[in-house]
Structure 1
Amino acid sequence: MKIAVHNWLRPEPLDVSIERLARLGYDGLEITSKPATTDIPHVKKLLADNGVESPGALAFMAGGLDLFSDEPFVRAGSLDYLKRTIDLVAELGGYFVTVPCTVGKVVPTASEEDEWRWYVEGLRTAQEHATAAGVRLAVEPLNRFETYLINRADQALRLAEEVGPDCGVVLDIFHMNIEERSWRQAIELCRDRLVHFHVADNTRGACGDGEFDWNAIVGALRAIGYDGYLSVEFMPPIDRTPLAASPIDDPEGQGLEASMVRWLRDHSSGVFRETEYTAWLTRSLRTLRTAIATTAGDRR
């Protein structure tokens, strides 16, 4: 298994992110898709110069992006964004695109039948585009406080099956800890379609800072034959009391689009400062490397 980081954790130039990952010993960068503003030749050179891969990207569904909106023009624009994300991944030499439901959409806007039909149709069209590019879509369940349609592994698997044989699933142990009766059973359920795996500890802190048994988690992935990436996705907790301990900065004034500022405000106390961010990355990498080494002979 290899270890990556998702670059939405600390908004900053990719030059800075990629150099840091290489210096710390990470293998890859799961890039947040911004096709309109990403200088692909420059990013490819950064990756090559630093010996870092980009195995895939997150199609960040927020800020008006919604594949099952009741507005046809919104669905069309979202599908176009997803196709351009697929092209971005293909050009960077990656193999998957993570597709969650719209973050922050917690109330339905149409019937269950219509939403499901629109979602399946949109993803089928996108997967056809992806298959031609050598890329797989991977549906990610998020917890009920972030979105409402796909929250569990069985729901993501059902959607992937209806989309087609090339569509996979991304699981995130933080979200699973909230929504699944058994994260072990969820991993086993998705064994034939598991494309990628997101990691943070039970409080969404750095790996090793909470109560998760990382040997057990990595061992369960080994047991189904998973040998892909573990992609780190931690967040500083929302704490606006005198007990707040994490040094953070306000996302305002950092050149972020409005949807990202809102996302950071809704999901964390703000933006990591560089020193704290590096420390969290270091602890996560150490924890995951140890678990990978410890379970290396575990092929149950």
Structure 2
Amino acid sequence: MHIAAHNWMRAEPIRRTLERMRANGIEALEIAGEPAQYDTREVRALLKEHGVRCWGAVTLTTGERNLVSRDAARREATVDYMKRVVTMTRELDGEIVSLVPATVGKVVADGTPEEEWKWLVEGVKEVYDHAVRAGVRIAIEPLNRFETYLINRGDQALALADAVGPECGVCLDVFHMNIEEVDLHAAFRQAEGRIHDVHLADSNRFALGMGHLDFAAIVQTLREVGYDGALSLEFVATVDRTPANPYGPQVETDPIDISPQQKQFLIDHGSHLLSDAFYSSLFTRSMQVLRPLVGPR
């Protein structure tokens, strides 16, 4: 196993992300699925400069992106978007795309379960076929019930992967698992041989060691099931706006220009944009927990 990190949790130039990763000894990047934001030639050069490789990408299924929309044109546009994420991943020599099928934050269905399963399988199959040709693996990621009404547990993700194709797998995120799984270790074991990616945050979605999850036990279970991919940091800290705040200043006072949609997505997850210093401290805390468990880089 190796350690990776996402970059969608803070709006910043990718050079700054890679500087922070290098400073913390993080080997690989799981890049935000926004192909229009990146010149892959420039990103490849930055990855090489900082001694970091691309592990893969995660779809940011926001706005009108939705594989189970009743609107066929919207479903088609979402498939096209996800294919572009796959292409970006291939151009960066990445291996996986973690795929979230339905709009994040949407908790009301558009159709019957039968209709939506049909749309879902058709859409993911089209993305999957493109990924197979590109040499990229697709991993279906469950989210908790407060972020999606569709695909909340590992067994549901496995059922979708089974319906899509033999090389389709799952991405399991321990924050979501802590909410939805009866036993997250049993969920890892059920997915043995099918786990393509693992995302890490603590029980409160802060950095590792700031909640109650037992990461030594989690890493041991992953070793037992033969997982040998990335452990990808994906914490999303909320801003404490009260006098009880134990973290010090958290809020970014000089944000870079980002799209309104991206800004809203970050605010919805954490209530505000995070400062560089506080965000960096979350990486340091996480690596203090994770590096001893994984071993030297």
Instruction: State the TM bucket, normalised to the shorter chain.
Output: over 0.9
Corresponding letter in the other structure for 1:15: R
Deviation for aligned residue 1:276: 1.2
Given the superposition, is the C-alpha separation of residues 218 and 239 from structure 1 closer, same or farther in structure 2, using an over 3 Å criterion? same
State the partner residue of 2:222.
221
Which residue of structure 1 aligns with residue 79 of structure 2? 79
Aligned-residue offset at 1:37: 2.5
Mapping for residues 26-65 of structure 1, pairs under 5 Å: 26-65=26-65
CA distance in 1, matches of 2:150, 2:269: 19
Opposite residue 280 of structure 2, the aligned amino acid is T
Give the conservation status (yes or no) of the 8 Å contact 1:240–1:269.
Answer: no
Quick one: distance in 1 between partners of 2:232 and 2:125?
25
Considering only aligned residues, what root-mean-square deviation do their CA atoms show, in Å? 1.6
1:104 paired residue number:
105
Q: Any gaps of 5 or more consecutive residues in structure 1?
A: 295-300
Q: Give ranges in structure 2 of 5+ residues lacking alignment.
A: none
Bigger Cα displacement from structure 2, 137-146 vs 241-250: 241-250
Q: 1:76 aligns to what SS in structure 2?
A: helix
Given that 2:253 and 2:275 are in contact with CA atoms closer than 8 Å, whether structure 1 keeps it comes out as no
Deviation at 1:250, TM superposition (A): 5.9
Partners of 2:193 and 2:226 within 8 A in 1: no
Write out per-residue CA displacement over residues 164-188 of structure 1, whole angstroms, 9 at most, x where no aligned residue. Answer: 1111100000100000000011000
Q: Relative to structure 2, which stretch is displaced further, 245-254 or 49-58? A: 245-254
Q: Tell me the equivalent position of 1:297.
A: none
Aligned pairs for 1:127-166 (under 5 A) are 127-166=128-167
Give how far 1:275 is off. Answer: 1.1
**8 A Cα contact 1:238 1:267, kept in partner:** no
Q: Secondary structure at the match of 1:88?
A: helix
Distance in 2 (CA, whole Å) between partners of 1:141 and 1:3 is 21
Partner Cα separation in structure 2 for residue 86 and residue 160 of structure 1: 17
Distance 1:290 1:13 in 2: 29
Residue 259 of structure 1 deviates from its aligned partner by: 2.3
**Deviation at 1:51?**
0.9
Matching residue's letter, 2:136: V
What code does the residue aligned with 2:93 have? G
Measured in 1, the distance between the counterparts of 2:219 and 2:272 equals 30
Change (3 A) 1:213 1:82: same
- Percent identity over the alignment is 44
Query: What is the SS of the residue equivalent to 1:63?
Result: coil
Match of 2:138, as an amino acid?
L
C-alpha distance in structure 2 between counterparts of 1:147 and 1:55, whole Å: 25
Asked if structure 2 preserves the Cα contact closer than 8 Å seen for 1:96 and 1:138, the reply is: yes
For residues 109 and 252 of structure 1, what CA distance do their matches in structure 2 show? 39
Aligned equivalent of 2:251: 249
- Preserved contact between residue 57 and residue 97 of structure 2 (Cα < 8 Å): yes
User: Deviation of residue 74 (structure 1)?
Assistant: 0.5
* CA distance in 1: counterparts of 2:31 and 2:114, whole angstroms: 33
Distance in 2 of aligned mates of 1:151 and 1:94: 26
Shift of 1:201: 0.9
Q: 1:5 to 1:179 in 2, by over 3 A?
A: same
1:21 maps to what in 2?
21
Paired with 2:172 and 2:88, the residues of 1 have a C-alpha distance of 22
> Partners of 2:83 and 2:117 in 1: how far apart?
20
**Contact 1:248–1:269 (CA under 8 A) maintained in structure 2:** no
1:5 aligns to what? 5
- Taking the aligned partners of 2:18 and 2:54, their CA distance within structure 1 comes to 10
Distance 2:253 2:63 in 1: 16
| Alpha-carbon distance between aligned partners in 2 of 1:87 and 1:160, rounded to the nearest angstrom | 20
Cα shift readout 1:161-213 (whole Å, capped 9, x = no counterpart): 10111111000001000000000110001112100000011111111122211
CA contact (8 A) 1:24 1:282 kept: yes
Q: How many residues align?
A: 294
> Structure 2: which amino acid aligns with 1:231?
S
Looking at structure 1, the residues matched to 254 and 106 of structure 2 have their Cα atoms a distance apart, in angstroms, of 22
Q: Does the 8 Å contact 1:22/1:50 carry over to 2? A: yes
Q: Does the CA-based 8 Å contact 2:9-2:266 persist in structure 1?
A: no
Q: Which sits farther off after the overlay, 271-280 or 44-53? A: 271-280
Shift of 1:238: 4.8
Q: Distance in 2 between matches of 1:255 and 1:116?
A: 38
Q: Which residue of 2 aligns with 1:298?
A: none
C-alpha separation between the residues in 2 aligned to 1:248 and 1:238?
A: 6
